[in-house]
Amino acid sequence: MAVKTLKDLLDEGVEGRHVLVRSDFNVPLDENRNITDKGRIIASLPTLRALSEAGAKVIVMAHLGRPKGEVNEKFSLAPVAEALSEELGQYVALAGDVVGEDAHERANGLTDGDILLLENVRFDPRETSKDEAERGEFADQLASLAADNGAFVSDGFGVVHRVQTSVYDIAKRLPHYAGELVEKELAVLEKVAKNPESPYVVVLGGSKVSDKLGVIEALAAKADSIIIGGGMCYTFLKALGHDVQKSLLQEEMVDTCGDLVKRFGDKIVLPVDLVAASEFAKDAQKKIVDLDSIPEGWMSLDIGPESVTRFAEVLSGAKTIFWNGPMGVFEFPAFSDGTRGIAQAIIDATANNGAFSVVGGGDSAASVRVLGLDEDGFSHISTGGGASLEFLEGKELPGVAVLED
């Protein structure tokens, strides 16, 4: 990898230098804005700790949720600053803005080893702008926080597939380095992407259907089986003629899914039963049904027990497993059995069959911990869903490519 790493930066020396770090703190929150899973915060600690201990003035950039370019208290990084302080055992100040007066004052006031967190970078519409000039202007302002002799460390693996200011454009303005997390994630995923030992089984679910349908074609060429559950499966079931009622559906992708089943039908494994719910709520009425029996006006929020058994059978013989996307709405305990069952089947294949297993995705990784499963039962838990999928597809990750020169 022709990319300089955190170690190179530390060797060059960081004492007294401002170092901008992009971390991924996009953690799940409950309705009272309590963090329900700190996985991504914990994964970011080694890089931040190393820089602080070496005497850098650390300025961290991160986003939370989708505030759509507007300042919105609901998406403030305040809960993150608090959790980060606690995990680091070191006070992390939160700037009142992203590149405003407060951020500048605080950046100027940092002493060696201090860590400052900027407010949610997505409060600024330029962060995700498609216009390079707009992003560039924002990047200049962020870079100016670092004064002379600054540096940029890219450590938000969950966002390296995005061309966004704090991930991509900023790297063109400062000497740049891959952080420990990004380096570690790439090393593990490379193992799966380059030479996956067969049988290679990919499990896909979750709710970002349009993002993920695109990867099936690329992965179908490499994997031996693709298991599909979660919010993704209903578009396939609809393509096969089933009435999915009010389940999550991507209408404009039905034909594409039908086509995928025709071409890769021998590899694609779909549910055979479902857990139907009267509404999208944790206390909804529920019923285990076959594919054609979702009651009128109901929706499916999980795969059924027979599906878990079938999926587990496929997984038990696997030597390489990649899982992205929960099998159902695991946040509601009544609809978490599918996700728990599949996670357990992957843990079993890892232990009993020597499978190399990788879980990717913010919610998938969170589900493992929230459901009380053994994190160590997997070979690797990745902090990035979209990023890891794109890497496995063989796509170039812009946030990594930009570090290469």
Specify the residue, 167 or 233, whose C-beta has the smaller distance to ligand ADP. 233
Binding segment (CB under 6 A) for ligand ADP, from list 76-84, 141-149, 355-363, 373-381: 355-363
Report the catalytic residues: 40, 208, 362, 386
**Shortest Å distance, C-beta 143 to Mg ion:** 30
363 is written with which tokens? 């919610």
- Say if strands 380-382 and 356-360 run parallel, antiparallel, or are unpaired: parallel
Candidates 119, 337, 363, 390: give the one binding ligand ADP (CB under 6 A): 363
- Give me the amino acid identity at 159: V
Q: Which does residue 329 touch among Mg ion, ligand ADP, none (CB within 5 to 8 A, set by kind)?
A: ligand ADP
Among 361, 368, 370, 400, the residue binding ligand ADP under the rule CB under 6 A is 361
Task: Examine residue 206 and tell whether it contacts ligand ADP (CB under 6 A).
Answer: yes
Q: CA distances (Å), 287 to each of 206, 293, 294, in order?
A: 21, 10, 8
The answer to whether 309 and 262 are in contact (CB under 8 A) is no
Q: Cβ-count burial of 31 within 10 angstroms (0-12 exposed, 13-18 middle, 19+ buried)?
A: exposed
User: Which residues on neighbouring strands pair with residue 299, listed in sequence order?
Assistant: 277
Out of Mg ion, ligand ADP, none, what residue 325 binds, judged by CB under 5 to 8 A for its kind, is: ligand ADP
Please, which residues bridge with residue 20 across strands?
A: 59, 152
Question: Closest CB to ligand ADP belongs to which residue?
Answer: 361
Instruction: Determine the interface stretch with ligand ADP among 1-9, 36-44, 214-222, 320-328 (rule: CB under 6 A).
Output: 320-328
Which one of residues 150, 196, 271, 362 is an interface residue with ligand ADP (CB under 6 A)?
Answer: 362
Quick one: what does residue 156 bind among Mg ion, ligand ADP, none, with the CB cut-off 5 to 8 Å set by partner type? Answer: none
Query: Any contact of residue 208 with ligand ADP (CB under 6 A)?
Result: yes
Find, among 25, 45, 192, 33, the residue nearest to 121 by Cα: 25
Is residue 399 close enough to count as binding ligand ADP by CB under 6 A?
no
Q: Which of 7, 100, 117, 98 is nearest to 58 (CA)?
A: 117
Binding part of the chain for ligand ADP, among 95-103, 121-129, 249-257, 324-332 by CB under 6 A, reads 324-332
Q: Which of 328, 337, 323 is nearest to 229 (CA)?
A: 328
Nearer to Mg ion by C-beta: 151 or 368? 368
Number of residues that bind Mg ion (CB under 5 A): 2
Q: Which helix (H) or strand (E) holds 259?
A: helix 254-264
Q: What three-state secondary structure class fits 22?
A: strand
Site string for ligand ADP, 47-76 (x = CB under 6 A): ------------------------------
Distance from C-alpha of 142 to C-alpha of 202, rounded to nearest angstrom: 39
d(Cα 323, Cα 201) in Å, to the nearest integer?
Answer: 8
Task: Please report how close the Cβ of residue 225 comes to ligand ADP at its closest, in angstroms.
Answer: 19
Neighbours of 263 (CB within 10 A): 12
Q: What are phi and psi of 395, to 5 degrees?
A: -80, 155
326 binds ligand ADP, rule: CB under 6 A: yes
Query: Contact 35/28 with Cβ under 8 angstroms?
Result: yes
Total residues contacting ligand ADP (rule CB under 6 A)? 20
Report in angstroms how near the CB of residue 251 gets to ligand ADP at its nearest. Answer: 15
Residues in contact with Mg ion by the rule CB under 5 A = 362-363
Residues in contact with ligand ADP by the rule CB under 6 A = 205-208, 230-231, 248, 300-301, 324-326, 328-329, 331, 361-364, 385
